[in-house]
Chain A
């Protein structure tokens, strides 16, 4: 057998050296100041963007459903830092952070949230349905779990074309109980498709905790019967995420087939804007924010260990704030789509 699939648990990066496979070196969790400043900037942009989106939702400027990513920023920022620009990305409806991390413009994302012509889907998709082929971001999908076979299909296409690009399918602990996820796992493993499954385990599928919904709550093990190796990662630590992603990328790109990364993360806000979050205590949320916040962690690391100054960080804060303010401005001033848009983009002219 070429490989022995194993599910490993890595609760904290410091313990990673104790993993059972001896072949790969323990992941590096150090980063240069410049590298970490960039990760800090990207996470902060998502945080501030989402806070602004929440505020605009409250003001009635954003309609429908709006699922904020606040608290989970380290996951997408850490993973994306390990990818190449040709790699394909797909996720669920909690997608604003992924789009920003893929390099999509804040203006276009925010204007889609407000349903305006300047949005990425010209106002026809909304919060849950945005795409950018140019940035290899394939959505933004509103049906829980549907993005997993789709992302597997993107990987299929890359392998078929003989490219060395891979696909990353992000999904949550809720999706992890959908049948089609396992149908996709089976074929991805069978055909050795270049796909990384990133399970963003924020511990609640809407209001149902993993403990109350999952017979096997260690989601990294969900690929075991297909021979898909899985690793559990501290998803509140951007460097641990990046290190795990580096390993997964190397594994998947070498043609060995899919891999699962279970990110233990947490969303501070409700499932959507209209979620009163009665299913968990305030103490739980506050403790997580106080002790595990991914952005604060990096901030302290930068200040205490890497010699960054408050002024340097303030400059980033200011920069990010300006981007978000501009996006909010743009999203409110962009016109609604022309009425003729109602009847366009249904079919491509053959």
Chain B
């Protein structure tokens, strides 16, 4: 059977081109890789190579022919043993396999709203389920009678790592100053002594590199905990976190899990200036394939870090330097963990919902005290995780209080507060008695001067003012 040679496309958008030059003539023997002709578009000139071997039986277009459609036959190849008689009655025009009708085309891609049909349905179903069940978001975390010890957040995080390293040989810690220095913020104090240099590894100052090595090690079957001295430095490594850790499971059709925890302090410390004071929660929370935790108290921090280390997915664990030295009662049971993606009502109230994560929860609690003095009962929700974001718990509270103030140290634009207010509008619009208000960091790089830094960060008075505004109590 003669084989038609088709006009190729040089790019997904090309529809036709010019047949600039024939490099072969009828009767020539050709083999795979031999150049047959040159074709031109407005953008480029390309050589067309033979894929099969045979003899050129016919050239359908003359040199210089313009407007040759992609996939139109341009020549006919005779196979071994055939001669021009084989061409009699051979219709090259219909000989070419046209692209299948169901093959993805550029048009399909241009209308993404057609495709993800399943998504809104899935989300609606999720919300409906959440409505029906009492998810226990205001039940105590700890079973009655569980043993606790009073300790700092820093010690709780250390104990979480230590217990998980004891539990699972494949868990190890790497990062800058985690071993001999005992942790830049002393979070890994004592771990080198306990587990040795094979499992507690000082890295050079090379975030992009060690984040990538961590991800590769996770692909290779280990369970790395990668400490960033602060998440500000993780910007050097964000390609490996997002393009390699978060996306590979999907791109591999589910083959390539990446069980890794990236942890370290996030957000403003104190007087360290713009490059060391950014809150990245919203950045990571926007990425499918990641889980993102930003705990407030030591009890949930320990339980969630343990859950993060056991989780088979990449988890971003955002700590807060200002909170490292504060103490809480923490569960001592090494089997106690909390679910990632569950928020917690940590103070009950009926008048307004205050919702935040990490240190913003401390500010919200302060604000709730002040509001109580004025007769306003604020409900405070600690999100704990920002991806998955526990919309159900927030919506449930808002349906009760009918008012909501979001609190975060990050910048306002595209922040967690912006996301929450959108979701509240979508899922609790009819329950709202006032628009949701966002309290956030001011939209500036963090200043160094003490007075300006204080002005740039949300304070409890800002939250009080916002709460009163949504309660129309001014």
Decide if B119 touches A150 in the complex (CB within 8 Å): no
A264 at the interface (CB under 8 A from B): no
Residue of A nearest to B254 (CB): A345
A203 at the interface (CB under 8 A from B): no
Decide if A154 touches B313 in the complex (CB within 8 Å): no
Chain A residues with CB under 8 A of B96: 59
- Kindly provide the distance from the CB of B236 to the nearest chain A CB, expressed in whole angstroms: 9
Decide if A183 touches B208 in the complex (CB within 8 Å): yes
Contacts between the two chains (Cβ within 8 Å), count: 234
- Kindly provide the distance from the CB of B341 to the nearest chain A CB, expressed in whole angstroms: 10
Chain B residues with CB under 8 A of A59: 6, 8-9, 71, 96-99
Decide if B239 touches A143 in the complex (CB within 8 Å): yes
The segment from A14-22, A32-40, A115-123, A298-306 that touches chain B is A115-123
Chain B residues with CB under 8 A of A132: 255
Question: Could you tell me which B residues sit within 8 Å of A by CB distance?
Answer: 6-12, 32-33, 43-46, 48-49, 51, 70-71, 96-100, 102-105, 115-119, 122, 172, 198, 203-204, 206, 208-222, 239-240, 243-244, 248-257, 288-289, 291, 307, 310-313, 340
Chain B residues with CB under 8 A of A82: none
Chain B residues with CB under 8 A of A156: 213, 216-217, 220, 222
Contact residue among B6, B7, B216, B289 (Cβ-Cβ distance under 8 Å from A153) = B216
Question: Please, how many angstroms separate the alpha-carbon atoms of A347 and B99 in the complex?
Answer: 34
Decide if B208 touches A345 in the complex (CB within 8 Å): no
- Kindly provide the distance from the CB of A115 to the nearest chain B CB, expressed in whole angstroms: 6
A307 at the interface (CB under 8 A from B): no
Residue of A nearest to B257 (CB): A348
Question: When each residue 113-145 of chain A gets 1 if its CB lies under 8 Å from chain B and 0 otherwise, what string results?
Answer: 011000111111110011111000011111100
Number of interface residues of A (CB under 8 A): 81
Residue of B nearest to A184 (CB): B209
Question: Please, how many angstroms separate the alpha-carbon atoms of A121 and B251 in the complex?
Answer: 6
A4 at the interface (CB under 8 A from B): no
Decide if B221 touches A121 in the complex (CB within 8 Å): no
A346 at the interface (CB under 8 A from B): yes
A58 at the interface (CB under 8 A from B): yes
A254 at the interface (CB under 8 A from B): no
Chain B residues with CB under 8 A of A138: 216, 219-220, 256
Chain B residues with CB under 8 A of A57: 8-9
Question: Please, how many angstroms separate the alpha-carbon atoms of A191 and B433 in the complex?
Answer: 61
Question: Could you tell me which A residues sit within 8 Å of B by CB distance?
Answer: 47-48, 51-52, 54-55, 57-61, 63-64, 70, 88, 90, 114-115, 119-126, 129-133, 138-143, 146, 148-158, 160-161, 167, 179-180, 182-184, 186-187, 190, 268, 270, 273-278, 289, 332, 336, 339-340, 342-348, 350
Chain A residues with CB under 8 A of B239: 143, 146
Residue of A nearest to B256 (CB): A131
Chain A residues with CB under 8 A of B215: 149-150, 153
Chain B residues with CB under 8 A of A343: 118-119, 122
Question: Please, how many angstroms separate the alpha-carbon atoms of A122 and B102 in the complex?
Answer: 16
- 6 extra interface residue pairs, beta carbon distance < 8 Å, beyond A59-B96, A149-B208: A59-B9, A146-B244, A156-B220, A186-B209, A277-B46, A344-B254
- Kindly provide the distance from the CB of A93 to the nearest chain B CB, expressed in whole angstroms: 12
Chain B interface, >50% SS class: loop
Decide if B244 touches A187 in the complex (CB within 8 Å): no
Chain B residues with CB under 8 A of A332: 97, 100
Decide if A345 touches B249 in the complex (CB within 8 Å): yes
Question: Please, how many angstroms separate the alpha-carbon atoms of A340 and B312 in the complex?
Answer: 22
Decide if B212 touches A150 in the complex (CB within 8 Å): yes
Question: Please, how many angstroms separate the alpha-carbon atoms of A190 and B197 in the complex?
Answer: 13
Chain A residues with CB under 8 A of B198: 160
Contact residue among B32, B206, B310 (Cβ-Cβ distance under 8 Å from A187) = B206
Decide if A133 touches B213 in the complex (CB within 8 Å): no
Decide if A149 touches B209 in the complex (CB within 8 Å): yes
Known: A139-B256, A289-B33, A348-B313. A60 touches B213 (CB 8 A): no
Decide if B220 touches A153 in the complex (CB within 8 Å): yes
Residue of A nearest to B291 (CB): A347
Question: Please, how many angstroms separate the alpha-carbon atoms of A154 and B279 in the complex?
Answer: 31
Decide if B216 touches A346 in the complex (CB within 8 Å): no
Question: Please, how many angstroms separate the alpha-carbon atoms of A102 and B8 in the complex?
Answer: 30
Contact residue among B33, B45, B102, B219 (Cβ-Cβ distance under 8 Å from A150) = B219
Chain A residues with CB under 8 A of B7: 58
Question: Please, how many angstroms separate the alpha-carbon atoms of A141 and B313 in the complex?
Answer: 19
Residue of A nearest to B206 (CB): A183
Decide if A129 touches B252 in the complex (CB within 8 Å): yes
Question: Please, how many angstroms separate the alpha-carbon atoms of A264 and B109 in the complex?
Answer: 39
Decide if B248 touches A139 in the complex (CB within 8 Å): yes
Q: Name 17 A/B residue pairs within 8 A (Cβ), A-sorted.
A: A60-B9, A124-B250, A125-B252, A130-B252, A132-B255, A133-B255, A146-B240, A149-B216, A153-B213, A157-B217, A161-B221, A167-B220, A183-B210, A273-B10, A276-B43, A345-B250, A345-B254
